[in-house]
Amino acid sequence: MGGDRLTEVLDATYECLTRYGVRRTTVDDIAGAMGVSRSAVYQYVRGKDDAVRRLAERLHTRALERARRAASADAPPATRVRGVLEAKLGLVLELAGDSPHTAELLDEKARLFGDICHGFTADLRTLLIGVFAEAGLRGAAPAEEEADEAGPAGAGAVDPAGVVDPAEAADICIALVLGLESVPGGEQLLRPAVDALLTGLLGDAGAAPPDPRTRR
């Protein structure tokens, strides 16, 4: 029962944040949204700051669980990578769509929950590194790096496939989804963007199967 009541507190906190934002929301607001007394709220959280932090943690944890399921799925690398990025993009679109105030819960610089946001992105990066490593992506071998430093072998020389390591590939993917977060219709662009990116990184082996929704 206590867990259910805490859920009600966090739901009410979210409702208040959509109206007032983090700074202006008070425990009285949360209590009013629940229809209980102020003292009843304090039975489950230490105050407004605690409620907001727990709410941010809940939202990011749910998104991370979706990302973990996607990363561990029995599917091509592109499908798994896209699923991880969809979890991040979906969280952003959900919060930004409900209210400009709830988008504050994504701020990595926020005093109350910035570490949660930062940790979420770091965990996604770890998942992506794992997917790329399993897909066989590797960094440049020392001999290749020395050759790169010495300059191209000839005019029009192209770097060999696989010079991007899993960590670098993960960083590229994170940068990609950060860009899509600020673009209208970014969710529709995610699949083709990921497919194009992974074709460049992994070749056809990394591609996802055709989307039946795009067939005529």
> With 70 as the cut, is the pLDDT of residue 142 above it?
no
pLDDT tens by residue, 48-61: 999 999 999 999 99
pLDDT tens by residue, 87-132: 999 999 999 988 999 999 999 999 999 999 999 999 999 999 999 9
d(CA 60, CA 120): 6
Continuous H helices in the chain: 2-24, 27-34, 38-41, 48-71, 77-98, 114-134, 142-150, 166-181, 186-202
Structure tokens at 40: 């009843």
For residues 39-47, average pLDDT: 98
Mean pLDDT of the chain: 88
Residues 44 and 6 sit within 8 Å (Cβ to Cβ)? yes
Q: How large a percentage of the chain has pLDDT more than 70?
A: 82
pLDDT of residue 153: 46
When pLDDT is cut at 50, 70 and 90, the band that residue 39 belongs to is very high
When pLDDT is cut at 50, 70 and 90, the band that residue 205 belongs to is low
pLDDT of residue 93: 94
Structural domains in the chain, CATH included, are 54-214 (1.10.357)
